[in-house]
Amino acid sequence: MAETEARGPWREAWSVFKRNYAALVGLGILALVLTTAIAGPWIYPVDPFDIVGAPKTPPGTDADAVLGTDYLGRDMLAGLVRGGRPTLMVGFFAAMIATVIGITMGALGGYYGGKVDALLGRITEFFQVLPALLFAMVLVMLFTPSLVTVTFAIGFVAWTSMARLTRAEFLRIKQLEYVRAARAIGSSNGRIIWGVILPNALPPIIVAATLATGTAILFEAGLSFLGLSDPNMMSWGMMIGSNRNYLREMWWAVTFPGVCIFLTVLAISLVGDGLNDAFNPRLRTR
């Protein structure tokens, strides 16, 4: 066991993570999705907005559009290849915004306690009781639907659970001896919050942030389904949203992007679970 102790916490986590097959499968799918999102446009250089054939062509009937076409005659495959990038970008950046807001609110509240905590807690609760999807819809409608507004809207409604998690971690950690030690040697509040407590509170936050990415992708799909997406950016959610009126005539146009979203969110969940196990010392012996 001496060997294990010599390894850093991150390598330690990885050794646990890689024993979790489900998490590895998730990581594999995620890697594939990311590769397609980044390299896809070079591998399959068809503009997803180009009309390549007759509208509503079923898959496997036209060599120019193997996965069929949508209601305008646009290539489904091109849409799927290009649609991953905006979808993942919205998911990633929205989760990042949520995490930054959440950590800030939770850290300040948890560390300072008292009136600061009470105030920040009330603000968090205020956002928590608003129906998230409705609130995001209002935000997107107020400003015109675009990739940026959708990202901000999702980030702005999804931070509350992150704030509560961070606050709980801070409340726990600030009692620990090394924090007292830091205070005893005269470290500033800022240094204690960001330099001492936060790094030790990170593991559960990382897990939550990973899962938040999946949630954000679903949110984007939900908003797109309601027609609130950037019409100039082919995302999976937008493909579902704009094709859903023709669901009974063309199953493929919503099924394929739906499967893509499903697999991506599943992969992120599996990876998140794997990380949770890996970072949680009590489960380490499993």
Partner 1 sequence: MMQTIVKSIVFAATLAIAAPATAQKAGGTLIWGTTQVARHFNPAVQSGYATAMVGAQVFASPLRFDDKWNPQPYLAESWSFQDDGKSLLLKLVPNATFHDGKPVTSEDVAFSIMAIKANHPFSSMLAAVERVDTPSPTVAIIRMSQPHPAIFLALSPALCPIMPKHIFGDGADLKTHARNTTPIGSGPYKLAEFKPGEHIILEKNPAFFIKDRPKFDRIIVRIFRDSNALAVAIERKEIQFTPFWADLALLDRLSKTPGIATTDKGGDAIGPLNWLAFNTKKKPLDDARVRQAISFAIDREFITKKLHNGRSRIATGPIAPGAPFYSGAVEHYKVDLEKANRLLDQAGLKKGAGGVRASLSVDYLPGSNEQQKNVAEYLKPQLKKIGIEVTVRNAPDFPTWAKRVGAHDFDMTMDAVFNWGDPVIGVHRTYLSSNIRPGIIWSNTQSYSNPKVDDLLAKAAVERDPAKRKAEYQEFQKIVVGDAPIAYINVLPYFTIYEKNLRSLPTTIWGAMAPIDEMYRE
Instruction: Specify the residue for token string 């649609």.
Output: 83
Which 235-254 positions form the footprint of partner 1 (CB under 8 A)?
Answer: 242, 245-246, 248-249
Q: Which of 232, 282, 285, 286 binds partner 1 (CB under 8 A)?
A: 232
Site for partner 1 in 2-61 (CB under 8 A): 47, 49-51, 54-55
Which is nearer to partner 1, 140 or 265 (by Cβ)? 140
Q: Residue 211 and residue 130: Cα distance in Å, rounded?
A: 20
Residue closer to partner 1 by CB (options 160, 224) is 224
Among 16, 20, 40, 74, binds partner 1 (CB under 8 A): 74
Give the span between the Cα atoms of 260 and 240, in whole angstroms.
11
Report the C-alpha gap between 46 and 79 in whole angstroms.
9
**Beta carbon of residue 281, minimum distance to partner 1 (angstroms, whole number):** 49
Q: Which is nearer to partner 1, 25 or 147 (CB)?
A: 147
Q: Which range binds partner 1 by CB under 8 A, 156-164, 210-218, 228-236, 271-279?
A: 228-236
- Angle, CA of 39, 212 and 91, to the nearest 5°: 30
Q: Which residues of 51-70 are buried (b: 16+ CB within 10 A; e: fewer)?
A: ebbeebbebeebeebebbbb
Sole residue written with tokens 């509040």: 189
Residue with tokens 């054939």: 53
CB of 252 to partner 1, least distance (A): 16
Q: Which of 28, 60, 131, 231 binds partner 1 (CB under 8 A)?
A: 231
Q: Of all helices (H) and strands (E), which one includes residue 3?
A: helix 2-6
> Mask of contacts with partner 1, 130-169, x by CB under 8 A?
----------xx--xx------------------------
Q: For residues 177 and 226, give the distance between their C-alpha atoms in angstroms, rounded to a whole number.
A: 51
Other CB atoms within 10 A of residue 11 CB: 10
Nearer to partner 1, 56 or 284 (CB): 56
Cα dist from 151 to 89, 154, 203, whole Å: 8, 5, 24
To the nearest whole angstrom, how small is the minimum distance from the Cβ of residue 131 to partner 1?
A: 18
The answer to whether 225 contacts partner 1 (rule: CB under 8 A) is: no
**Do residues 159 and 105 make contact, with C-beta atoms less than 8 angstroms apart?**
yes
Radius of gyration for the chain, computed over Cα atoms and rounded to the nearest angstrom: 22
- When the beta carbons of 52 and 205 are compared against partner 1, the nearer one is 52
At 72, which amino acid appears? L
Residue from the set 227, 259, 262, 283 that interacts with partner 1 by CB under 8 A = 227
Residue 68 one-letter amino acid: G
Phi and psi at residue 46, to the nearest 5°: -105, 130
Per CB under 8 A, does 79 bind partner 1? Answer: no
Question: Which of 217/233 has CB closer to partner 1?
Answer: 233
Rounded least distance, CB 188 to partner 1, Å: 47
Binding region for partner 1 (CB under 8 A): 47, 49-51, 54-55, 71-74, 140-141, 144-145, 227-228, 231-232, 242, 245-246, 248-249
